[in-house]
Chain A
Amino acid sequence: MNCAESRLLLHAHADGELDVANSLELERHLKTCAACVAEQKSLHSLKSALRQSSLRYDAPESLLKEVRRLGRGSGGEARPGIFHSLLLWKWLAFGATAVATVAILSRPEGISGRDQMLDEAVASHVRSLMAEHLTDVTSSDQHTVKPWFDGKVDFAPDVKDFAAEGFPLIGGRLDYLNGRAVAALVYRRNKHCINVFVWPATNTENGKRALENRRGYSVINRETKGLHYCLVSDLNEKELTELGSLIGR
């Protein structure tokens, strides 16, 4: 481990968020590097100063009062308190923001949009392994993983366990690619990890299974039943193609 890596991981270590393997490696580096040890000391002092300071603001009584009145007596008659105190233009502005957000989320992906999406998919695959944040919901049960995505993404990904075919389902994760919420399904093949990113189809793949290589990772894109499936892994192309033909079938 070099100093640049150590300087980054020190923070996750101090926050108690670093996995065991990286912690061990970091501690090994700290034994030989006085500069990083000094940085670690400084970091700990900064953290404890932040914790001990009275930087936190408490909610004022007026806010608590308004919130307590929220919804009370909202039986169709006049709603007291906050509902009335909010001016109409605020709601109009809120509506406009919501419309703009929807417009951004649902903008059609052109070729460059596709490119960016795939680059981010590969980056996210790498990060999911690095940060030990592979899954939000860990289960090989498709009936657990599929409903977990309800209300988190605006589409229903097809979730199936392919343990019988040698690709056990590990779990699912919510991810963000190119500014859009996507579902990430995680499968394993022996020691290899496969991320399958799912988002609504944009008709850029014409139904074919396109295999390509990005930064040394194999990537397969497939659109079927209105959804785009993007498989990313360091697995060999042949085996990834095998999973590609199972997904969304």
Chain B
Amino acid sequence: MSDNEQQAQFDRLVTPHLDAAYNLARWLAGNDHDAEDIAQEACVRAFRFVGGCRNSDGRAWLLAIVRNTAYSWLKKNRPAAVVSIDDDALAEIEDKSGSASSFHSADTDALRAALETLPLEFREALVLRELEGLSYKEIAEVAEVPVGTVMSRLARARRQLQGALDRKEKV
């Protein structure tokens, strides 16, 4: 691939999704400065490997690179933040949460604070679904898990988000 082709491919597949890339990096990193570093590094990788992107739309492909870059960065700089969740623990969580809690209106600040308390994998699932509008299949591609896992992660993520909002309301 010539430099021009590489540039054209990058402009077509990657450039339109820089907001999405930054948004995911920002939610995973937790602050502006680190998010920008991660998004930048991810873009450099995307530029190098754009020739290997087979998708007609580069969004999920780019987001997968952002995610990998963010996880590598977090493992190195904040290992405590990267604690893998147990995807088989669904039943347990469901049992504990018991009866349905109802959602009351919450302002953006409360939602943001609650979302920030969620484990990494849950946070990313919700960000990709609710803020970026990705399909389950695309989320599966980005997070490298089966579609069934995406479904159960979203269910658990929303339950935990609800729990965090409820706790906040009581305080």
Residue numbers of A with Cβ under 8 A of B are 4, 7-8, 10-12, 15, 17, 35-36, 38-39, 41-43, 45-47, 49-51, 53-60, 62-64, 66-67, 70-72, 74-75, 82-83, 86, 90, 93-94, 97, 124, 127-128, 130-131, 133, 136, 150-152, 174-176
**Contacts A4-B94, A51-B130, A71-B10 given: A60-B43 contact, CB under 8 Å?**
no
Contact digits for B137-171, partner A, Cβ 8 Å, 1 yes 0 no: 10011001111110110110010011000000000
Q: Nearest chain-A residue to B90 (Cβ)?
A: A8
B146: A residues at CB distance < 8 A: 124, 127-128, 131, 133, 175-176
| A59-B19, A70-B10 as given contacts; A53 in contact with B111, CB under 8 Å | yes
Min CB distance A153 to B, Å, is 12
Q: Which residues of A are found within 8 Å of B47, using beta-carbon distances? A: 70-71
Interface residues of B (CB under 8 A from A): 3, 6-7, 10, 14-15, 18-19, 21-23, 26-27, 32, 35-36, 39-41, 43-45, 47, 52, 54, 72, 76, 90-91, 94, 99-103, 105-108, 111-112, 115, 126, 129-131, 135-137, 140-141, 144-149, 151-152, 154-155, 158, 161-162
Contact A50 B131 (CB under 8 A): yes
If the complex has contacts A55-B112, A74-B3, A86-B44, are A12 and B151 also in contact, measured as CB distance less than 8 A?
A: yes
Extra contacts, 10 of them, besides A83-B44, A131-B147, A136-B137 (Cβ < 8 A), are A17-B135, A43-B103, A53-B108, A66-B40, A90-B41, A94-B41, A130-B148, A131-B136, A131-B148, A133-B146
Contacts of A35 in B (CB 8 A): 99-100
Residue of B nearest to A177 (CB): B146
Chain B residue nearest to A120 (CB atoms) is B146
7 cross-chain CB contacts under 8 A: A17-B136, A17-B151, A38-B100, A59-B39, A131-B148, A133-B146, A133-B148
Measured between beta carbons, the chain B residues less than 8 angstroms from A57 are 22-23, 26-27, 35
Docked Cα-Cα span, A221 to B137, in Å, equals 28
Cross-chain contact of B18 among A8, A51, A67, A128 (Cβ < 8 A): A67
Q: Closest residue to B131 on the A side, CB-wise? A: A56
A72 to B14, CA, bound (A): 15
Q: Is the CB–CB distance between A11 and B151 below 8 Å?
A: yes
- Which A residues are in CB contact (< 8 Å) with B43? 63, 66-67, 70, 82
Closest 5 CB pairs of A and B: A59-B22, A127-B148, A39-B100, A42-B103, A45-B103
What separation, in Å, do the CA atoms of A15 and B137 have in the docked complex? 12
Give the docked Cα–Cα distance between A74 and B72 (Å): 27
CB <8 Å contact, B44 and A46? no
A60 / chain B contacts, CB cutoff of 8 Å: 22, 32, 36
CA–CA, A57 and B107, complex, Å: 16
CB of B22, distance to nearest CB on chain A (Å)? 4
Q: Which residue of A lies closest to B115 (CB)?
A: A55
A94 lies within 8 A of B3 (CB): no
- Are A63 and B102 in contact, CB atoms less than 8 angstroms apart? no
Question: Chain B contacts of A72 at CB under 8 A?
Answer: 7
A49 and B147 contacting across the interface, CB-CB below 8 Å: no
A63 touches which of B22, B76, B147, B155 (Cβ 8 Å): B22
CA distance A69 to B15 in the complex (A): 12
